[in-house]
Amino acid sequence: MAEAERQPPPESSEETPPATQNFIIPKKEIHTVPDMGKWKRSQAYADYIGFILTLNEGVKGKKLSLEYTVSEAIEKLVVLLNTLDRWIDETPPVDQPSRFGNKAFRTWYAKLHEEAENLVATVVPTHLAAAVPEVAVYLKESVGNSTRIDYGTGHEAAFAAFLCCLCKIGVLQVDDQIAIVFKVFNRYLEVMRKLQKTYRMEPAGSQDHPFLEPRHFVDEKAVNENHKDYMFLECILFITEMKTGPFAEHSNQLWNISAVPSWSKVNQGLIRMYKAECLEKFPVIQHFKFGSLLPIHPVTSS
């Protein structure tokens, strides 16, 4: 995949990154609908989708309560996310005429924008300090849009890209796979839900289990009893808290999925849908940024 990953394993944690690695500030490259072809052929797309699928395989059929290795880098990422959470408490919503899109979000966002590189520097070892400005861009892009005060799948994708970049520079390792999802990504989702609730943000643009079947996720009792074990059910619970009316009306696509007979088919279907409805949609990908770690150039075989 990445240049750094093709190097022999470092002798020590103080190993310097490859001399060929010139970090750059990521920027937008997808300006028109025809540019989508560049994205789908890009090294960034191949690496991003590979990263997502690898994590998906790593946690399939596992409970959040599973015991797994938690490295120092994972702990530092959780501290970073806890800091973002604390800033929400320190930046209460303001009184304003409109119910949605509370402008206090812009104050919160400005603080992140100012501190992002410092936050990322707490996770990245000093010998990789040159990567910080590039990696920090994805963190800034992952929390919603400060102009529209909205949040959507493109912002979530930016956080996945942030984690992917940390893997490519060697801050996160193969052994971190489960913790990346269960500890870091899960904490990220918690903070994003708190952001959306606190600032009333608009939505932008959203192994088979022995007894829990897909039909159960539209059953309020099943969700309430099992959401602490499964990330998918945490997402469903959040939707039911934020929406009113029958589930079939406010979340029709998910309602349809509840008729799928097995979790493995649900998993395959959601991956297909994620590619089609998020990664292959111009309104989402036009905001994605490309640098040296997630480059726009066509896939090169390693």
Percentage of residues of the chain with pLDDT beyond 70: 90
State the maximum Cα–Cα separation within the chain, in Å, rounded to a whole number. Answer: 60
Is 199 within 8 Å of 149 (Cβ atoms)?
A: yes
Percentages of the chain per state (helix, strand, coil), in multiples of 5: 60, 5, 40
Q: Determine the Cα–Cα distance for residues 252 and 300; give it in Å rounded to an integer.
A: 40
208 confidence band (pLDDT: 50, 70, 90) = low
39-83 pLDDT, tens digit each: 999 999 999 999 999 999 999 989 999 999 999 999 999 999 999
So what's the pLDDT on residue 2?
42
Distance set, CA 38 to CA 157, 285, 295 (Å): 18, 11, 11
Lowest mean per-residue pLDDT among 11-20, 200-209, 217-226 = 11-20
Lowest mean per-residue pLDDT among 4-8, 36-40, 149-153, 239-243 = 4-8
So what's the pLDDT on residue 203?
84
Is 208 within 8 Å of 263 (Cβ atoms)?
A: yes
Q: Determine the Cα–Cα distance for residues 90 and 110; give it in Å rounded to an integer.
A: 13
pTM here is 0.84
- Structure tokens, 27: 């920027």
- Structure tokens, 155: 């912002």
So what's the pLDDT on residue 219?
82
Q: Give the angle subtended at the CA of 106 by the CAs of 105 and 107, to the nearest 5°.
A: 90
Residue 14: Cβ-neighbour burial (10 angstroms; 0-12, 13-18, 19+): exposed
What does the pLDDT average to over 155-181?
97
Q: Which of 156, 111, 119, 153 is nearest to 136 (CA)?
A: 119
Burial 207-230 (b: 16+ CB within 10 A, else e): eeeeebbbebbbbeebbeebbebb
**At residue 106, does pLDDT exceed 80?**
yes
Is 1 within 8 Å of 47 (Cβ atoms)?
A: yes
Q: Determine the Cα–Cα distance for residues 281 and 46; give it in Å rounded to an integer.
A: 16
